[in-house]
Amino acid sequence: MRWPWLSSITVAIGLTSSATAPYPDVPGVRPWTLERKLQIRNEVKELWDHGFNGYMKYAFPMDELQPLSCTGRGPNWRDPEDHNSNDVNGNFSATLIDVLDSMPIFAFSTSPDNVQSNKELERFSNAVRDVINHVSFDVNTKPQLFETTIRTLGGLISAHIIASKPSSFGHHFADDLDWSILSWYNGELLDLALDLGNRLLPAFNTPTKIPYARVNLKHGVPANETTESCTAGATSFLLEFILLSRLTSNPIFETVAKESFFTVWDRRSKLGMVGNTLDVLTGDWTKEEVSRIGAGIDSFFEYAFKGYVMTGEKEYLDVYNEAYGAVMKYSLGYDGFWYRTVNPTTGNVAYSHIDSMGAFWPGLMVLAGDIENGIKSHMIFWNIWRKYSGIPESFDIYNRQAIDYGYPLRPEFVESTYFLYRVTRDPFYLDVGERVLNDLVRNTKTKCGFATVANLVSGERNDRMESFMLSETLKYLYLLFDESNRLHSEHSEILFSTEGHLFILPKSLTTPTFNPTPDPRNHPPNSDTEQHFLTQNCRAYPGTRIPSLKELANKVPSATQKDGLYTSIRHRLDMEYARNLGGISVNEAIQDDSIWWNPNGYCHEPQPERHILEYILAPHGHPDVLEDPHPSVEKLVKVVDGFIVKDLTGVRLKIKTRSDLRIGSVLGIGQHAVSPNQKVYFADRRLLETPQEKDAPAQSLSPVEFEIRLFLGSESPTRGDANAKKVAQGDQDNSNRDSKHAVTTLAVAAAFGDNPSIPKTSSSSQSGKDGQKVLTPTHHRQPRPRFGLDEPPISVKLPVDDNSYGCKPHGITDSSSSQLPFHNSVLLIKRGECSFFEKMKLAELAGASGVIIVDPVPDDLDILAKLLMKPLIIPTLDQQSNSEPSYAEKHFSDVGMVLVVGSDELTELTGKATVEGLELMVEVVGRKRLQEPQRESTVGKNLMV
């Protein structure tokens, strides 16, 4: 699908998340100027006013407006089991409460004199008075817990926070408005919310803590109440109940909501998927269970993520990440565009239907940072909308045909369109919004409101306008075109509920988790720290890139391509594929997209990303290692807080990539599943080997370990009291060696140089001070005391701070000088940065008798993990080098090198010596092994892969 005008474009078009640029100069396309957006915004506002005024004139104080007959609608008193009516209509003016916070959102639109904004605050003030004067929850009705919570309880809480003035909760984005209009308000809405919350609590009185789906507001749960509830209905009151608890200082609401949420989650399948329906008394899933992103489960995903955003409690994010990963592995279609309904136990496809409520999914993916997949998912629903001028309740993706043609004015598609525009600023989404607006006017508007569409093909309508038409559909459509709304500068401090209620998070009661990320293309980071900050927050949208013809021919990898055309989402090469999935024929495409589409062009074959990755581990990535399906305890050990991988050869590792697609978490290791609160310790030392080490001779992997002891001598004469006693080698206080100021650790000698674990014969040395053997150097150097077995202790020195790895020269290295920095001492340095040979060479030039290399262990491993590791490796020379062996033979015969494993105790000892000016000493003890500690001591953090 080439574009006829493409040849006229001679420069790349940059489209960034901070831009509001119109389309390029394309014939027949109106640019999205600010004036045009304001015009459409005002048209949406007129529609909202039309619906709200119709409700207030013809229906209030009843729950809903019947827009064809222009009458009110409430509960079905004659049939209490009419759930279609009674689940949302509880005889408490449901529509008025649901739309309360829409009026302040209109007020938050900036204008030069704020006159219009203050008028909206006046209307909000009057609506709040109407609720206070007319609404009571002491009614004999049995609404659904879920619907009553998200529409009514959420509406009251949102309006209470706004009526109390945002600045009273720490927000000052609307201080310029005339808040004296609401000076009379004294928390009455919160009182109503608390009364309603208390009337909902009896639903939670079940053995599983999962609430009944419905509750009578006057009498509690009836004796014969159904015990079935859907996952969304049992988990999606989390935000509302958390805020109610924290605003009233009553923890019961947050407690029951949290218990129910995690009780449902704990019943997930081994694949990490929840079902659609379960029994609240037993907690069992119903038979023929299915899992999907749409109806019955949808807001479970939403509140898992938003629960984390609101509270900062990582357990909610863990739930979202695991559930999201399972969806991307088992529900996502092979093409990466649509999400199948599957069996949660097997992951097999149950059927190919998608439902209208699944249109919320692209918006949630955008909020969680997965912009690319959000764009692709939205493309399917967009093509379904433009085929039917609405989203049918059910659509068969295989047959490209609607199953249920009804459209009850649902908001999910508009909501996702709004969030995608906010993150991409692509005018394509404004085109989508304008099409939605025109279809709503043409197909649903009546003389007093908006009517549900019973059949999108025939145009038949029903006499009902559900409250979410005003509280969500038109609210999101308004915000889509309202560039200057104050809310758009407060996006790190607000949260929309699943019903579109504006929760301005009280800073003293909640913990907002995410910060907005500046677009690095417009605001380049000026430091490494700022760059790190950018990468840890939500990613900026990179724009839609049309690859070059060379890349399309697969002559270069796309990941390295910098060229190509950056332009609108309309020009994606997979747009044609999404159009086909939506059931739009070629003739329809030619008619509707004549400007953007050409039947003689080309399209892109979808390449979905994988979110669940599985690997068979092998040392150094050897490709011929076979899987060990049941690793023994010699390879994999289960401990108190997770697992330790001692030998990774053949072990299966299962990883789920997180929503930012850059890091992942471990889902399984070997034959074991890994839960979010468990840790996986990788303790195979081959992971730390350098290229020289992994290619070393086989015998170097079987070292002989021995003990060395490091301890503190008396105070150094260079610090403290000038009369302090000097340290005399061989005359140390033996009790000090065995005190808490000593560390004994395993060591292994290098394969070159002197071997400290072997006593030296007198023929190769001469006696020095205090009887210590002094080695005769093989080249013209000063004699040095030996570091080795049966030798007196020798002083240990640390290099300067910027040379802790010993990879830089250590100062004076003139062989004729008697002031060598490490003469008569052993150098203690870290492993890494350079080869063992280079460390030894620089230490020997500085006069050292030996080198102790400390192999640092990641902070995530405790002492148990260290002791379960493979034996220490032997430091070796580069076997491919022609110069290293000859140099070592000539210069290193009187210098010994050992490798030890780092520990907190060793770090503490060296730190104490440095701070207190005490001399650190070392002696070689002999070939012994340390006592293994108790396994129960395991602590640490998960080693992320």
The token pair that represents 289 in the structure block: 């269970």
Distance CA 396, CA 402 (A): 6
Report the SS3 class of residue 933.
Answer: coil
The token pair that represents 82 in the structure block: 């009419």
CB 893 within 8 A of CB 887: no
Evaluate the CA torsion angle 802, 807, 812, 818 in order and state its sign: positive
Burial class of 631 by CB neighbour count within 10 A (0 to 12, 13 to 18, 19+): buried
CB 303 within 8 A of CB 239: yes
Residues 6+ apart with CB under 8 A from 827: 796, 797, 798, 799, 806, 810, 843, 846, 848, 850, 851, 852
CB 864 within 8 A of CB 937: yes
CB 147 within 8 A of CB 299: no
Q: DSSP class of residue 390?
A: S
| C-alpha torsion 107→109→112→118, nearest 10 | 0
Rounded (to 5) percent helix, strand, coil in the chain: 35, 15, 50
The DSSP string of 574-631 is: THHHHHHHTT--HHHHHHH-TTT--TTS------PPPSEEEEE--GGG-TTPPP-SS-
The DSSP string of 350-364 is: EE-EEEGGGGGHHHH
Distance CA 891, CA 139 (A): 95
Task: Give helix then strand counts, H and E, for the chain.
Answer: 29, 32
Count of other CB atoms within 10 angstroms of residue 504 = 23
Distance CA 57, CA 419 (A): 33
CB 383 within 8 A of CB 581: yes
Place of tokens 């001070």: 769
Q: What are the CA-CA distances from residue 647 to residues 297, 633, 916 (Å)?
A: 41, 10, 41
CB 304 within 8 A of CB 591: no
Q: Phi-psi region for residue 330, left (φ > 0), alpha (ψ -120 to 50) or beta? A: alpha
Count of other CB atoms within 10 angstroms of residue 853 = 24
CB 94 within 8 A of CB 152: yes
Strand 896-901 vs strand 850-855: parallel, antiparallel, or unpaired? parallel
Q: Which backbone phi and psi does 680 adopt, to 5 degrees?
A: -120, 120
Q: What are the CA-CA distances from residue 183 to residues 117, 121, 165, 503 (Å)?
A: 16, 12, 9, 21
Where are the alpha helices (H) located in 16-69, listed in sequence order? 34-58
Report the SS3 class of residue 465.
Answer: strand
Q: DSSP class of residue 408?
A: -
Bridge partner residues of 669 (DSSP): 653, 672
Count of other CB atoms within 10 angstroms of residue 864 = 22
Q: DSSP class of residue 857?
A: P
The token pair that represents 397 in the structure block: 């993706």
Output Rg (C-alpha) for the chain, integer angstroms.
35
Catalytic positions, please?
A: 147, 298, 393, 412
